[in-house]
Structure 1
Amino acid sequence: MRIKVIITGSTGMVGEGVLQECMENPSVEEILLINRKPYGIQDPMVKEVILADFNDLSSLGDSLKDYDACYFCAGVSSIGLSEDEYYKLTYSLTLNFAKSLAAINPNMVFCYVSGRGTDSSEEGRVSWARVKGKTENDLMKLPFKAVYNFRPAFMKPTEGAKNIKPLFKVISFLYPIMRPFNKAYFLTLSEVGKAMINVSLDGYNKNILEIQDISFLAKE
């Protein structure tokens, strides 16, 4: 089986890493990028749509119906944002996008990039973790075929990536040293992409995927 996938956030580090894996993976036959600014790629298996407002998918219409999975990698850091701003850019934007997509294509698998330490109770002291927890919880209520929430921590970018944050350039240098001693924190973006593809094809017995689950799924 080969799948058609939608990727958001490919102009960011995580989305670009997932895109790189999808382009190399024989199980993926078509990719649709939905971004707010151009990624800029010329490849016959990749289409790109620029969507200024992720709260409104009406301009895309039925063109989203034939896709098997969505890898939602768009997101922002909470640093420098008020809780209200972070809520709008994380919870509201993600849920509005996902609700519209579920109405168009309820048979797809939706994979959401969350983060290690997310608070499923929605009652903890850390605001970003509460917001991410509420986002995860409400995504799982939508009528998709399945929803999987990915909770990575540090991720090593794939070679050739353009959108690498400065901190992760340091992590890439340290990765070969640190990974053998702390597998509970370190993944590669290739592993994240492989895990998304594999869970789209075969499913999994959990909806919340911690680092160990992602690593396991990447090896299947």
Structure 2
Amino acid sequence: MRVLLLGASGMVGGGVLRECLLAPDVDQVVSVGRSALPSQDPKLVQRLRPDFAVDPSTIPDEDLTAIDACFFCLGVSSSGMTEEQYTAVTYRLTLAIAERLSALSPNATFVYVSGAGADSSEQGSVMWARVRGKTENALFRLPFKRVHAIRPGIIQPLNNAVSKTGSYRLFYRLSGPLLTLGRRWFPSRVLSTEIIGQAMLQMARHGAATPVLEAPAIYAAALSEPPGVGRR
């Protein structure tokens, strides 16, 4: 499997990258990003595109061709942003990349990391939820083999996964013990970056029952791994 990964330097994306590199059926991970990643794994192909977030056309066709699965983990906090600013990053950038990918790799499975509370009606009062829902709906209309949107809620970073947002890093540092307990007591509600990565790989392999997966369905997908396809 050849995987295209966007957002590998973030907390969720870093966790997904780790699971991809551990998966024996993943032959190559093409990471498109603005800065270099520390991993030297031979499976990882880093494509440094410093301006792609402003001008996604700077991503050449070769980065988007012969892709079996795309894990789209790019995302920003809406805090302090206008709806126009948030839409530019969350909706327009995502669709600009996804539309080209669907033309160049139509047999790919596209898995989009959305968020708990995303508003599929696009009519709600919460700005970020409307924009996320609008993005999901637009992705579902693209001619990929499969499109799934995952909506994790509470996430515990594992294996040195770190958020790029300062306030989130503080939250995770202070709440680490509570998250560990929460994951033990409510494993289908408090998801780890490890579980999210494993679930996304399963969606690429076999799909899922529904286009949108909330936390319990994400957890169930991760546990559905058949014998012989586990991590190395």
Q: Name the TM-score class by shorter chain.
A: over 0.9
8 A contact 2:189–2:216 mirrored in 1: no
**Which 10-residue stretch deviates more, 21-30 or 150-159?**
21-30
Query: CA offset at residue 25 of structure 1?
Result: 1.9
> How many Å separate the matches in 1 of 2:97 and 2:218?
24
State the number of aligned residues.
Answer: 218
- Structure 2 residues without counterparts, runs of 5 or longer: 225-232
Query: Aligned partners of 2:36, 2:74: CA distance in 1, in Å?
Result: 14
Q: Which residue of 1 aligns with 2:228?
A: none
| Structure 1 unaligned regions, length at least 5 | none
**1:158 partner letter:** L
Listed as ranges, the matches of 1:143-154 within 5 Å are 143-154=143-154
Give the distance between the partners of 1:81 and 1:185, measured in 2 at CA: 28
Q: 2:47 aligned to 46, 49, 66, which one?
A: 49
Following superposition of structure 1 onto structure 2, how do residues 30-179 of structure 1 map, counting pairs within 5 Å? 30-51=28-49, 52-54=51-53, 55-57=55-57, 59-163=59-163, 165-179=169-183
1:25 matched residue in structure 2: 23
Provide Cα deviations, 1:42-64, integer angstroms capped at 9, x if missing partner: 12110001122244346422343
**Could you say which residue in structure 2 is the equivalent of 1:212?**
216
Structure 1 segments of 4+ aligned residues over 6 angstroms from their partners: none
**TM-score, normalising length from structure 1?**
0.93
Deviations 1:155-214 (A, max 9, x none): 111223354622223343212222344445310111110011011111111000100110
Matched residue SS, 2:45:
strand
Query: SS of the residue aligned with 1:28?
Result: coil
Q: Is the 8 A contact 1:57 1:100 kept in 2?
A: no
> Could you tell me how far 1:39 is from its partner in structure 2?
1.9
- % same residue: 38
The whole-number CA distance in structure 1 between the counterparts of 2:149 and 2:42 is 29
TM-score (norm 2): 0.88
- What residue number does 2:230 align with? none
Aligned Cα RMSD in Å?
Answer: 1.6
Distance in 2 separating the partners of 1:80 and 1:184: 31
